[in-house]
Structure 1
C-alpha cells in the first residue's frame, strides 16, 4: 500500500510540472509552407525558412514542400480549406489580383490572401539589340517575345502595360514563348524585343538579373532597355493590379545607361485570414530576426532585408499577426 501511495504522489507531481510548462515551450507550432517547383528561388528560399526555423525558433517549426507552381498553390488552398489554418504559400500580388477578380487562369473569385513576408521583388521590362528601338512607340508593328501565357510577372502584367498602360493593344505582335525561349528568339533575330528582368531590393537599390538576362548580356551584343514608364505603370495600378513603380538604377544591367522606370511585383509568403494570429506573428518574427541568414542558401537571399519584407503592402493587406511583428520591430508605423 505504501508503495502504491508513493507512486500516486509521484504521478500527480509529474502531471503538475508538465501542466505548468507553457504550450509554446513544450512543443513548437507546426506551420506548413507550399512553395514552387524544385530549383526555383521560391523552393530554395522556402527550404531555407524551414531550416532557419529548426535552428533558431522554439515557438514555430516550418515544413516546406515543393509544388508545381504558385497558381497551383491558390487552387490547392481553395480545394482543401482546412489547410488555411496552418499553411502558408508562395504567391505574388499579381496572382492575388487574378484570384480575387476571377480572371484567367482562375474560373472563380477567391478570397484575398494576406502578407506574411516578401522574399523577392520581381521586375521585368523589354530589351532589344536594335538601337532604333528605344520607346513604346518604336515597337509599333514589331514583334516581341514574352514568357508563357500563365506567367504573371513575365507575361500577364507586361501585356496589361502594353494594352492598358501604353494603349497599344493589337499594334504590337506578341509571342508568348517562355522566358528562356524569349531570350533565344532575340538572339536568333526572330523577334525585335524580348522580356528580361530580375529581382530587386528597393531599400539598398541592389538588383540581381535573371538567368536569361545574364545570357543576353553575355552575348557580346549591345543591349538597349525599353522602360515601361511611370505613367503607364500607374494606369495599370489604377485598373486594379497590385504592382508598384520601380526605378532600376543606371548600371544595374549592362546597357542601362540611365535610371529605368519599370515595375515590380512582390513575390511573397502569404496566408489566409484563417491562420491564427499568433502563428503568423511567430513566423514573421522569425523572418525579421533571421533575415540575414537567407543569403547563406541562395543568391536571391542577398536581396532580402528587414526594410523590404513588407515593402509595397498596405497595412490592411498584411495578416494581423504579421502586422504586429512588423510594428514591434519598428518596420511599420
Structure 2
C-alpha cells in the first residue's frame, strides 16, 4: 500500500506540473493573440484573386501576430461601396483597389453613383499598362485614328477602357465624333482587330517601372502570336499628363523596347496601380506589420502568380505621394529607406 501511495503522489505531482505548464502555455498564447484581418480582392481566377490568396498564405506562415483571411469579390468598385455601406469593416479589412478607381470614387463619376472617401495605400502588387495597336500601315500615330473604330475593354474596366479613353479625349482632344470607341472587352478587342471590325485595339500587360521589366497580358500574347505585324501607338508623355490633370489618376511610364519583337522602340505610356488598400480608420500597427510582411516576403509572390515576379520594394509605392499611404505602411517604408 505504501508503494501504491507513493505512486499516486508521484502521479499527482506530474499531473500538477503538466497542468501548470499547460496553464503557462495558455497564458503565453493569450498574451500573443493573433489579429484577424479580412481581405476582399476581385473575382475568382483573376490575378488579383491569386495575389490575395498568396498574401493570406504568407501571413499564415509568419509569426507577426496578424493573420489574413482572403475572399473574392465582384471587383474594385464593389469593394469601395461595401466598406461605405458597412463602416464596421473599415478597421479590419484590406481591399483590392488602385489609383484609377480611387480617383473615380472620390470624384463620384461613373461607375460610381456619388463621391466616396478615399482609401490609403498598403502596397502595389501590380502596375497595369495598356496602349493601342493597329494592323493598318496608314495609322502611325494617335492622330491618325480620326474616323476610325477603336476597340477597348468594357466600360467599367479602369485600365483597359476608362484610362485609355481619357487619354484620347483629354490628352489628344479626340471626341466621340472623331473616334468610334467600341467597348467590347479585352479579348474581344483584339479579336475585332484581327477580323477587321476594328482599326485599333487595346493591348498591354503588367510592368515594374523601376526595373523596366514587363509581362504581357494573355490576350496580348495571343494577339502577337497570330503572326501579324502590328504597329504600336505611343500615347505621348504630355498627353498622359494632360489626362491625369483632367482628373483620371495614372502615372507616366516607359514601355520598354523588346518586350515583344514588334516593339522596337521605347514608348511613352501610362500605368495604374493595382493595390492593397485600407480605410484611414485601419489600425496603424496592423498596417505596419502587414507592410513589413510584404516587404520581407516580396520574392515569394512570384511562386503564386507570374506577375508576382514583377513586384519590387520601390514598385510597391510607385505613383503614390506619401500622403496617400497609410501612416502604418509609411512607417514601414521609411524604415526600409524607400521614403525619406
TM-score range (shorter-chain normalised) is: over 0.9
TM-score (norm 2): 0.91
State the match for 1:280 in structure 2: 287
Q: How many residues align?
A: 325
Give me the whole-angstrom Cα distance separating, in 2, the residues matched to 1:202 and 1:137.
Answer: 26
Equivalent in 237, 250, 253 of residue 246 of structure 1: 253
- 1:242 CA displacement: 2.0
State the match for 2:4 in structure 1: none
Aligned partners of 2:39 and 2:93 also within 8 Å: yes
SS of 2:105's partner is helix
- Consecutive unaligned residues of structure 1, counting only runs of 5 or more, are 1-5
Give me the whole-angstrom Cα distance separating, in 2, the residues matched to 1:196 and 1:283.
Answer: 33
Instruction: For residues 35-85 of structure 1, give each alpha carbon's deviation from its aligned partner in whole angstroms, at most 9, with x where no partner exists.
Output: 111111100000000010111233111111011111111111111111110
Give me the whole-angstrom Cα distance separating, in 2, the residues matched to 1:102 and 1:289.
Answer: 36
SS of 1:255's partner is coil
Give me the whole-angstrom Cα distance separating, in 2, the residues matched to 1:214 and 1:243.
Answer: 24
Mapped pair 1:205 → 2:208: no
- Consecutive unaligned residues of structure 2, counting only runs of 5 or more, are 1-12
- 1:223 CA displacement: 1.3
Aligned partners of 2:126 and 2:311 also within 8 Å: yes
Instruction: For residues 256-282 of structure 1, give each alpha carbon's deviation from its aligned partner in whole angstroms, at most 9, with x where no partner exists.
Output: 110000100011000011101011111
State the match for 2:147 in structure 1: 141
Equivalent in 93, 107, 110 of residue 101 of structure 1: 107
Consecutive aligned runs of 4 or more in structure 1 exceeding 3 Å deviation: 13-23
Mapped pair 1:297 → 2:297: no
State the match for 2:337 in structure 1: 330
SS of 1:308's partner is helix
Give me the whole-angstrom Cα distance separating, in 2, the residues matched to 1:115 and 1:203.
Answer: 18
State the match for 2:8 in structure 1: none
State the match for 1:3 in structure 2: none
Aligned partners of 2:64 and 2:289 also within 8 Å: no
What are the within-5 Å matches in structure 2 for residues 109-258 of structure 1?
109-170=115-176, 171-258=178-265
Give me the whole-angstrom Cα distance separating, in 1, the residues matched to 2:301 and 2:230.
Answer: 31
Aligned partners of 2:108 and 2:115 also within 8 Å: yes
- 1:103 CA displacement: 0.5
Give me the whole-angstrom Cα distance separating, in 1, the residues matched to 2:273 and 2:188.
Answer: 24
State the match for 1:79 in structure 2: 85
Mapped pair 1:260 → 2:267: yes
Instruction: For residues 234-256 of structure 1, give each alpha carbon's deviation from its aligned partner in whole angstroms, at most 9, with x where no partner exists.
Output: 10111232201110111112311
Give me the whole-angstrom Cα distance separating, in 2, the residues matched to 1:27 and 1:180.
Answer: 47
Mapped pair 1:91 → 2:91: no
- 1:92 CA displacement: 1.2
- 1:181 CA displacement: 0.5
TM-score (norm 1): 0.93
Aligned partners of 2:60 and 2:67 also within 8 Å: yes
Q: 1:81 to 1:122 in 2, by over 3 A?
A: same
What value does the CA root-mean-square deviation take over the aligned residues? 2.1
Give me the whole-angstrom Cα distance separating, in 2, the residues matched to 1:279 and 1:166.
Answer: 44
Give me the whole-angstrom Cα distance separating, in 2, the residues matched to 1:308 and 1:316.
Answer: 17
